[in-house]
A and B are shown apart, each in its own frame.
Chain A
Amino acid sequence: MSETSIPDDRTLTDEGLAPARAGRILLIACGALAREILDLKKANGWSHLDLTCLPAKYHLYPEKITDAVRETVAKHRAEYDDFFVVYADCGTGGGLEQACEEMGVQMVAGPHCYSFFQGNESFAQTAEDDITTFYLTDFLVRQFEAFIIKPMGLDRHPELRDMYFGNYEKLVYQAQTDDPALTEKARDCADRLGLAFERRFTGYGDLETTLKAL
């Protein structure tokens, strides 16, 4: 059985990840979570879990997520005993949850990855105090240009920054790993957006406990 190697972030962003076709449960995840899930899989010896990822760029086009998950389940229906969707609602407005119910497939609870990394309960408790907080994860710090700067046009029109971020006060870097270089990059991201900086180490939060239960 071959272990899945982690593609580079650009591949995860644009193409996602194909399944290794090993394991009885197929995880269908956002490409932005590939590293974290493969890391957890390796650390815990979860050989019953296989992983396929949809392109991480769907983070920017959440309207594409639900149909893509449906297609992935349909495509691999005969090959696995079960499926688990490693997306939270992620901007689908309840559409993904409804689709999962219809397909008889479970998914991660919560509104988005920022919430399940921090822990859904904890995130809900601090949500009111954090409404002016902009979140980045390890992946999004690494891919700040591709997911924030370029799609928002800030590379071409930096003057738009305050139209996007004028109501935000703080950038919280939710660190999944201890990486000083990434922390510095996150601090730089905050500076570029004109926001105060805070690092919160979350580890894998509810992602780990959720997958452990499978």
Chain B
Amino acid sequence: MSEEDDIILSELDDEELVQQMFDDLYDGLKEEIQEGVNILLERGWEPYDILTKALVGGMTIVGADFRDGILFVPEVLLAANAMKGGMAILKPLLVETGAPRVGKMVIGTVKGDIHDIGKNLVGMMMEGAGFEVVDLGINNSVEAYLEAMEAEGPDILGMSALLTTTMPYMKVVIDTLVEQGIRDDYIVLVGGAPLNEEFGKAIGADAYCRDAAVAVETAKEWMGRKHNSAATA
């Protein structure tokens, strides 16, 4: 891409720069994304606008092309890494400027499962969509989930598993929530390569999310329902 080597980001107007950031995210160019974020900040953009319009906008294109089989996991990871670089600049500023918060999610991979690529993508996209994300990391027991949920009071519990052998543990967690009478206090979203919608229903989750973009949309939808039911209660 020798032509693009000549592009000087600071010389682009806002619209062109955002478009270029979409391209740079798509190509997984972390330094360029960080430069773009800093330029927009210098131009007086609100951190939240940079996050949603430039970064999330770009990752949405990446997500769509992944779903359509145009991009593959390595490219998505590179794009995510670039977005992470931009978010590292924006995160402290978002706290300072009090960006709108859509909801709170506790997320982690289940006991026995150390595969966190999907979980990390979901966490990042959820943050980008305005959710506060408490990431419990990998290999979480039911006790770890419960402890975090009690401490954090999230709206959403997200569980992820890559292995056929570990995905049944999601049911253990949900059954425990039911036993303790707190299942309906949370929206439970599950995801991971071997899962499907049928499995999600069978274990008593609210929804199965096939990728990070679907997780965000589903989370927003369920938060909307929660607000509606709270308003009519």
State which size class the interface on B falls in. Answer: 20 to 34
Asked if residues A152 and B165 are in contact (CB atoms below 8 Å), the reply is: no
Most buried by A among B112, B117, B165, B167: B165
Partner pick for A153 among B72, B112, B117, B165, CB 8 A cutoff? B72
Task: Give chain B residues whose Cβ lies under 8 Å from the Cβ of A132.
Answer: 114
Partner pick for B74 among A111, A112, A131, A152, CB 8 A cutoff? A152
Closest B residue, CB atoms, query A156:
B74
> Is B199's beta carbon under 8 Å from chain A?
yes
Given A111-B165, A156-B74, A163-B77, CB of A128 within 8 Å of CB of B196: no
Q: How far is the CA of A111 from the CA of B168 in the complex (A)?
A: 13
> Is A18's beta carbon under 8 Å from chain B?
no
Q: Which of B195-210 contact A (CB under 8 A)?
A: 195-196, 199
> Is A202's beta carbon under 8 Å from chain B?
no
> Is B116's beta carbon under 8 Å from chain A?
yes
Given A111-B164, A131-B112, A168-B114, CB of A91 within 8 Å of CB of B74: no
Asked if residues B164 and A91 are in contact (CB atoms below 8 Å), the reply is: yes
- Per-residue A-contact encoding for B49-85, CB less than 8 Å = 1, 0 else: 0000000000000000000000011110110010000
> Is A72's beta carbon under 8 Å from chain B?
no
B residues in contact (CB < 8 Å) with A? 28, 72-75, 77-78, 81, 112-117, 138-139, 163-165, 167, 193-196, 199
A-B contact pairs, 14 of them (CB 8 A): A62-B193, A89-B164, A92-B194, A94-B199, A111-B163, A111-B164, A111-B165, A127-B112, A128-B112, A131-B114, A151-B72, A157-B74, A163-B77, A167-B116
